[in-house]
Amino acid sequence: MTTSDATVELIDRELSADLAAAALALARRFQAGATLWVVSPQWEPHAHHVAVEFVHPVIMGKRALPSVSLVEPDPVAQCRVATRPGDVVLAVASADQPQVRDIMRRAPAWGADTIWIGSGPRPGPGAATHILWVDSDDPMIPATGRFVLMYHLLWELTHVCFEHPGLLQAPAEAGADCADDACVTCSDEGRLAEVVLVSSNPIDGVLVRTATGEERVDITIVGDVEAGDLLLVHGGAAITRIDPREEVPR
């Protein structure tokens, strides 16, 4: 897609493919009962705009999709409270926005997919489930309408997916076919967990939140932890603490 004078390519081939993949994944999440939570600490109007688009059917008679903008001063805390397994968090922000970076790191522990819309230097690989990015250093990009174009296309393509019910069946989750109580492949996987509550008795371990819910884990290996710390959990024990500067596994 280009402007009328064909001097600027607004949506290139790579971004088109990213938009299509994000729309399909989002449609599948909505079909399964997800809510879309939208944050944009730098540009609050974008958060409101995205939420408004999704709660309005793309054409009369089509479904409204649950979407809420989160615009309080601490969007990380808001997302933590609001997000449930299966939801999606969408952020419109630059790659260096600290609150959005923190949300993206924690979302896997909340069981949420993430979509990150922005421009300029890109987030690192795996920083979000889907990255929709304008590769331009122009600081005016967020105000030119290109972000609006991206999330309008995301909204419309999501509705297009609903026109093809066969697409809405998500691929089987890894390990879904495991019939035994303990699967060698699944048991080798470390899971991201966010510390919820630290007990005064170390023997009790700590309460953590993972994509499948809350559970208690042993922290003998990692030592003292605090609420909000991110851990990798394996076999009921925390095996490492994730540094705030590290990317998290997805």
Task: Report d(CA 94, CA 80) in Å as an integer.
Answer: 21
Task: Report d(CA 110, CA 79) in Å as an integer.
Answer: 9
Q: Which CATH superfamily does the domain covering 13-168 fall into?
A: Glucose-6-phosphate isomerase like protein; domain 1 (3.40.50.10490)
Rounded to the nearest 10 degrees, how much is the dihedral formed by the CA atoms of 52, 58, 60, 65?
A: -60
Domain spans of the chain, in order of start: 13-168, 184-241
> What's this model's pTM, rounded to 2 decimal places?
0.86
Task: Report d(CA 229, CA 246) in Å as an integer.
Answer: 13
| Domain 13-168 shares a fold with domain 184-241 | no
What does the pLDDT read at residue 5? 43
Please state the separation of Cα 115 from the chain's center in Å. 5
What does the pLDDT read at residue 7? 56
pLDDT tens-digit readout, 82-124 = 999 999 999 999 999 999 999 999 999 999 999 999 999 999 9
What does the pLDDT read at residue 172? 60
Q: Indicate the residue type of 205.
A: G
Blockwise average pLDDT, block size 10, the chain, 250 residues: 52 91 96 97 96 87 91 96 97 97 96 96 94 91 91 94 85 50 53 92 87 93 93 93 73
Task: Report d(CA 223, CA 115) in Å as an integer.
Answer: 33
Q: What percent of the chain has a predicted confidence (pLDDT) above 90?
A: 67
Domain 184-241 falls in which CATH fold?
A: SH3 type barrels. (2.30.30)
What does the pLDDT read at residue 13? 87
Nearest one of 127, 126, 146, 128 to 136, comparing CA atoms: 146
